[in-house]
Each structure stands twice: as structure tokens, then as C-alpha cells.
Amino acid sequence: MSPRDASPAARPALERPAWLGYLAGILLMATALGLRALLDPILGNNVPLAMLLIAVLFATAIGGWKPGVMVAVVGYALASYLFVSPRYELKLGDSLGGARLTIYALSSAAIIGLFYHLRRAQQRHAASEARVLAILETMREGFLSIDGTWKITSVNRSGEAILRRPRAEVLGRTIWEAIPSLQGKPVEAALRQALRDQTVVSLETDTLAPQAWHAVTLTPTAGGLSIFVQDITATKAHVEQLERQVSERTAALQSLVSDLEAFSYTLVHDMRAPLRSISSFAELIAVDHPGQLDTEGRGYLERIRKAAARMDRLITAIMNYSQLARQKPELRPVDLHQLVQEILESDPAFQGDKADIGIVGVLPFVRGNESLLSQCFVNLLHNAIKFVAPGVKPRIRISAQIDGATARVDVTDNGIGIAPDAAERIFEPFRREHPGYDGTGIGLAIVRKVVACMDGRVGIVPAAGQGSRFWIELKLSAPPGAMGPSGTGAAA
């Protein structure tokens, strides 16, 4: 640790050589004894305690406790030898005895002890400050400190590299003089804010040096600011390069997705056309040539027609699912009660001769998309009708409960149910837990995707062999034109 690393105020405590303290002590002691000699006609045979104590004080302050002790002991001995009768004889005291010697010794000890501790504290402070400055000097970050008048008081080695100027050119100058490019820029406002509000401010700027970016942290200190600067030019360039790559790849992916969409629509159209032809020709054979077919042949034709219809439904379901993954629907208030009522009235499969379906109470207004909600409930109701035991008429009840700003809609059926361990699997695409029943395996996956698009949740309360209860949670909404924040008038 070098004394030059300490501040100017603390540096003398480390730099002063030992001989200087002894020399100062000897000169002070000689001065005190000389003054005593001049005042001897007035003072008489009294040891000059006050003058010697002053000499002890300054000797200790300048050189430490050793010169102080030397002045105290040697000075008292010389004064007793020179001025106390009988003169020029070695003695320990004067005519007043040991009382004055005791007072003198205690006073000297107090002075030496006080200045010893003060000097040690000064040395510890200087050493601590030197360590801090040594750390700042070796940091990779640039460091500058300014006082309350905006003058630069210190700059480390990295700070010189960032400013591209030696510290001698900026120390003692205001930061506005040393770095004029700061004025009128956001970094100037940040500096003034940090000093005025005594708050830490962080920012990125390109004004400290030409063609360079820096991350700057402004930390208030007693009467000034500590400025930490990190060169982020390479990081900034790398981030910009990554952003360009992401932008280019995003554009390429969007173009690819558009091409795939066009291809998929063409493929679906081309796949559905042969399926319709197969189904139509099978129906024509069954109608126009019944006499040429036996029972087994008619069964084969029916199986062909059903397989073609199932393939057509599967293709349509896949297209619907893929469209849900790409779109963000517009959400608005939807009268769920009216929507479900219209679904029940419009679909032949939901009529009373085929299924017993009812709404319990009044369903609330929810925040959703009417088209997607129709698709969701149609799939749930078709599932409930389909998965029942042979000979059992489907019985389905739709009800709602309101909890705060959320509506929970239950669709309860008397079907074959689902095992508890399959409660999550059934919402995966192409998952079929009951192979003996017809279906595409994608209906419930569409339900979950639809509900997720409307910021909702869907689940099931499973019970194998005892029916199922599907639930959907959606956000409540006030009816159009209503003043209330949510559809509180809707009963569950």
C-alpha cells in the first residue's frame, strides 16, 4: 500500500519520516528552554512546566509518542539541571517537591496518550482509504467522483480509458467542462436528479465517448456523487445483432407459416373432395343398385360411408384446432344463457326425443367470443350425448355459479364417466379413452384451446361409471349498456 494512494488530508500521517519528529521535538524543547532562560529573572527558580508541556504537545502531534516522551523527560531533566538551585547539578525535582513532578508527569502522559490515539486513528483512516482507492484503481469499471460544485475529485485508471483522457486533464474541473457532450442530454438530467434527490440513478448513454455505449450508475455520497461506468459497446452491438436475427427469422417464419396455411387449405380442399366423392358414390350404389347387393355388401358400403364421414370430420376438426392456435379472438360481453338456448334449439341432436338437456337457473353474461363459446358448448354437449351406456337416454344439466368476478359453468351428464387418472389426458389432441365409441379425439382439445383464448380455465370432476361434470371458468361481464362492473343480475 503506497502513501500516494491516500487522500491529501490523510497522506501526512503515512508519509512523515521518524527523524522529522525527533528533530521537531529537539527544536521545540530548545525553544522552550531558551524562553525559560530569557524569563529566568522573572520566574525565578521554577521549572517551566507550561512551556515544556506545549513543547510535548507539538512534538507528539508532529512525530508521535516517542519524540513526545523524549521532550517530556529530557526537557524536565535539563530544566531542573539548568534552572533549579543548586544549578548545574543532576536532581529529580525542585524546591516544591514531588507534587509538581507528579502533575507534570500526568499532564505529559495525558497529552502523549491523547495524541497517540488520535494519530493511530488517523493512520487507520488513511490505510482504509488507501485500500478503498486501491480497489477503485484496479476495477474494470470506470469510476469518477464529483463534489457538490460538480468538480471532479478523482478518476480511476478505467475511467481514464473510458474518457480517453489522462486524469490530470479532468481533475479539479467541473464535469460539464471535462465532458461537454453531457450538456442537454438525458445523462445531465440524471446527474442533477441524483445529486438533488440523493437517490441512485442508473441509465445507458452514448454521450461519454464517441461511438461507444456505457451503463452508468450514479450513487450519492456525502456532498457529491460517485459515478460508476461500464463499457457495454460490445454487448449493445451483440444485442442489436441478435434483435436483427430474431426479426429476420420471425419474418421468415411468418412467411413460412403463410405458405403452410395456404398449402393446408389447398390440401384440405383436395382431401375433402375425394372423400365427398367416395361417400356420394357409396350412397348412389346403395340407392341405385340395391338388388345387386346382398346384406354383406350393403354393410360394406355403409362402413365406407361412415369412414369417409369420420375422415371429413377429423380433417375439419384439425383445421379448426390449428386456426385457434393462430388467432387472438376479440372478447366482448356474451349472454351465455341465450347462446346455450339457441344451440339447444338449432341442433337436431339436442332435441328432447334424443336427449334430456336442461339449463338450471339463468346463465350469466361472460367476457368471451360468441363464435368460440358456441364451438365449445357444442363439443361438450356432443361428447355428453355420445359417451353413454347402451340403451341409456342422455341426461345433461347446465348450471352456473358466480364467485367474485368469475363465473363457473358446469355441464353434468349421466354418461360412462372417466377414470380419475385420465382427467388431464382427455384434453390432449387425438386422445381417446374409450376406443369403442366413435370420435375424432380432438373435441376436448378444441374446448381447452377455446377457453384458454378467452383467458379462462376448463377441467373435469371425474367419476368412472357415474357420469362426468365438466366445468368452465370465465370472467364475468356486465350486459351491454349496463352500469354495473359485472353481470350481478344473472342468477346461477
DSSP assignment of 259-272:
HHHHHHHHHHHHHH
Please give the angle made by the CA atoms of 387, 388 and 389, to the nearest 5 degrees: 130
pLDDT of residue 487 exceeding 60, the answer is no
Element (H, E) at 358: strand 356-359
What CATH fold (topology level) applies to the domain 330-475? Heat Shock Protein 90 (3.30.565)
pLDDT of residue 81 exceeding 60, the answer is yes
- Each residue's pLDDT tens digit, 22-66: 888 888 888 888 887 777 777 665 555 777 888 888 888 888 888
CA distance 170 to 379: 76
Contact 62, 24 (CB under 8 A): yes
> Three cell numbers at 358?
336442461
Q: State the average pLDDT over residues 67-86.
A: 81
Comparing 205-219, 284-298, 367-381, the range with the smallest average pLDDT is: 284-298
Kind of pairing between the strands at 457-461 and 214-221: unpaired
> Three cell numbers at 142?
470506470
Taking the alpha carbons at both ends of the chain, their separation in whole angstroms is: 80
Domain ranges of the chain: 3-136, 139-231, 237-325, 330-475
Kind of pairing between the strands at 356-359 and 395-403: parallel
Strands (E) in 222-283, as ranges, are 224-231
pLDDT confidence band for 409 (50 / 70 / 90): very high
Comparing 191-195, 230-234, 488-492, the range with the smallest average pLDDT is: 488-492
At residue 60, the pLDDT reads: 84
Entry pTM: 0.43
What CATH fold (topology level) applies to the domain 139-231? Beta-Lactamase (3.30.450)
At residue 76, the pLDDT reads: 81
CA distance 150 to 167: 16
pLDDT confidence band for 399 (50 / 70 / 90): very high
Q: State the average pLDDT over residues 257-275.
A: 66
Residue 335 phi/psi, 5° resolution?
-80, 95
Fold: same for 139-231 and 330-475: no
Looking at every residue in the chain, the average pLDDT score rounds to 79
Instruction: Provide CB contacts within 8 A for 205, sequence distance 6+.
Output: 185, 186, 187, 213, 214, 216
CA distance 258 to 277: 29
Radius of gyration of the chain (CA): 48
CA distance 278 to 237: 61
CA distance 140 to 418: 64
At residue 4, the pLDDT reads: 43
